[in-house]
Chain A
Amino acid sequence: MSVPAFNRFGVWAIYRFEMARALRTLWQSVVTPVITTSLYFVVFGGAIGSRMHDVGGVPYGAFIVPGLIMLSLFTQSLFNASFGIFFPKFTGTIYEVLSAPVSPFEIVMGYVGAAATKSVILGLIILATAALFVPMTILHPLWMAAFLVLIALAFSLFGFIIGIWGKNFEQIQFIPMLIVTPLTFLGGAFYSTDMLPQPWRTVTLFNPVVYLVSGFRWSFYGKGDVAVGVSLAATVGFLALCLVAIAWIFRTGYRLKT
């Protein structure tokens, strides 16, 4: 019996299983975030945005689009990936993945690939929804796609780590709800850091989300709170950090194997 060096059928099985799970829960996966985002546009774009000045020459309603997409991308990537790996741990079906001839890299490809795919699709749906509310342009569509994919991958990897770390549903929800969402709100999703007085403008630069939102916004309007190179480095750095953590998890079997 010959065994290939790369278990593509195994990766595809995990990926397809995870995507099928999203289709079963289409309402929670897609419709809920779209409605939530639409409400943001009604409140921030319509009701409040109409009374706001342009931000760096960009109408406020259009200005918040990248931030809103990032907010959904962060939380959905985290939830999709963390539940993807936590659920088999919770139900016990993880035994099958652990006993299969799949490498840690292939397991991550399957779970994180599916979570990132779902998040990117969701990001594009929110973008399309936003286009119904505000006129906008995307100056650097390729960079926009690159940031979208890289950030979705990085946060899906982070979510995968949370899913392995979490012992219960409360812990799984703890980081997205109590850490990532506040950091996103304080990370320039709805404002430019230039609008903050000192010392808060300096303090906010310690928030890693600032760099991600800024890079993504730059791809839309050619302007960001920090240089786009710094944003890209922060994104890739975060992704690499998550990969290192996952490599350690599989090497030690942390909360996967006894």
Chain B
Amino acid sequence: MEPVIAIRGLSKRYAGGHQALSDVDLDIARGEIFALLGPNGAGKTTLISIVCGIVTPTTGTVSADGFDIGRQYRQARSRIGLVPQELHTDSFETVWATVTFSRGLFGCPPDPAHVEKVLKDLSLWEKRKARIMELSGGMKRRVMIAKALSHEPEILFLDEPTAGVDVELRRDMWALVRRLRDSGVTIILTTHYIEEAEEMADRVGVISKGRLIVVDEKTALMKKLGRKTLTLNLAEPMRALPAALSDWALTLKADGNELEYEFDANAERTGVPSLLRRMSDEGIAFKDLHTRQSSLEDIFVSLVHSGEGA
């Protein structure tokens, strides 16, 4: 199936010489939730800004729903909604006026019923006559989303959508994003909250220093790159690792009270049974054991750090 967003050889070098993006290729499938992860300054916002027409690319092409963002910008942009990271709002405008303005700006005829639906979906209906300056930060964030949804976009970019919002609002937004996806909207979100990507994304892309270093299904990524950690609570504390256990990459922790062993859960031989046998042979007893699957955050940190080392 043709991707709804197709990015080819995209690079951006700012006038000051900073290389924000380097040769990025990326396809976004229709109807998916794609999370773009990366540390500050990795190029996430530049990538989104280029697709939305705010930043001019140095090289490369981008198409949205088959329309080139440069030559066919009207068709491309009319399909895209953007919720920027910063709360850029017209403080003196009312909620209703600013959302209506956005709908008109994107070439749509007035449709009070749609604006009403969007405001109600975002719990903004009661505030429709309020000036934006009177709203809380969380409410302003909802207004930004309402503006982006006012023209019924097929593709929605959310740049750090839950930055600085409380837990309850974050959960509300996650629910909203799922509803939008269920209605057929493609969602591309950037986030610092790995939990957010883990919770919602179908696919994940990790960007570091302007390069897209990995793109994969979230579950596949966690399976492929995810590692497990076995922690053994020792019956007697250990001062140093015995030579008999040197075949395993073990770490002594908690003042010698814990042995930690990290292993690839997908490997044919994890090394766990043999480790336990060897410990039994050596008379090393343990009181308890537990395992932990590495989170998307662990994977992200590991990927970014390995990218930095490259």
Chain A residues near B (Cβ < 8 Å): 1, 3-5, 7, 9-10, 12-14, 16-17, 20-21, 24, 91-93, 95-103, 253, 257-258
Contacts and interface: CB of A to CB of B under 8 A. Distances in A.
A9 to B, nearest CB: 5
Residue among B76, B100, B101 with most chain A CB within 10 A: B101
A9 B54 contact: no
B160 to A, nearest CB: 14
Interface in B228-261: none
A106 to B, nearest CB: 10
Given A13-B101, A92-B88, A257 B109 contact: no
A95 B105 contact: no
A257 B84 contact: no
Interface of B: 14-15, 52-56, 73-80, 82, 84, 86, 88-93, 97, 100-110, 147, 154
A91 B92 CA distance: 12
Q: Is the interface of B mostly helix, strand, loop or mixed?
A: loop
Nearest to B54: A98
Contacts of B105: 9-10, 13-14, 96-97, 100, 102
Contacts, number: 92
A9 B89 contact: no
A9 B104 contact: yes
A206 B9 CA distance: 53
Nearest to B106: A100
Nearest to A4: B107
22 contacts: A1-B79, A3-B75, A3-B107, A5-B74, A9-B103, A9-B105, A13-B103, A16-B104, A20-B97, A93-B89, A96-B102, A98-B53, A99-B53, A99-B54, A99-B80, A100-B77, A100-B106, A101-B76, A101-B78, A103-B74, A257-B55, A258-B15
A92 B56 contact: no
